[in-house]
Amino acid sequence: RKEVEQDPGPFNVPEGATVAFNCTYSNSASQSFFWYRQDCRKEPKLLMSVYSSGNEDGRFTAQLNRASQYISLLIRDSKLSDSATYLCVVNGRSGGGADGLTFGKGTHLIIQP
């Protein structure tokens, strides 16, 4: 089973729409969860951490369900500048003991005018 799974997309959505991404992770011992954004040929940049209680940052809302090992990201009122690859990221790897990040393959989002 893959450690962090995401739908690779691409998701093509019109500007102003709401879009949701989902992610599952296999290591139940994982403690920290993130969404990173990566633009073409750039480094990953932290979008937001994800907490069990759910958290919101402007147009972005992240949710974590530890029981289901499921993470989500909701983007409301999408902008053209939201076009990027969204990486679901989990701290630690299967087998435990490491503090490197494990990345999903990313979901490619294209916002269309």
Partner 1 sequence: DTEVTQTPKHLVMGMTNKKSLKCEQHMGHRAMYWYKQKAKKPPELMFVYSYEKLSINESVPSRFSPECPNSSLLNLHLHALQPEDSALYLCATKGPSTDTQYFGPGTRLTVL
**Residue 52 makes contact with partner 1 by CB under 8 A:** no
Q: How far is the CB of 87 from partner 1 (least distance, A)?
A: 6
Question: Is 8 or 54 the residue whose CB approaches partner 1 more closely?
Answer: 8
d(CA 32, CA 92): 8
Residues 8-47 as x/- pattern, contact with partner 1 by CB under 8 A: -----------------------xx-x------xxxxxx-
**Residue 60 makes contact with partner 1 by CB under 8 A:** no
Query: Quick one: which of 49, 55, 72, 94 contacts partner 1 (CB under 8 A)?
Result: 49
CB-CB contact of 17 with 110 (8 Å) = no
Residue type, 85: T
Q: What is the β-pairing status of strands 107-112 and 11-14?
A: parallel
**Residue 100 makes contact with partner 1 by CB under 8 A:** yes
Q: How far is the CB of 99 from partner 1 (least distance, A)?
A: 7
**Residue 91 makes contact with partner 1 by CB under 8 A:** yes
d(CA 87, CA 37): 6
Backbone CA torsion sign across 72, 34, 16, 53: positive
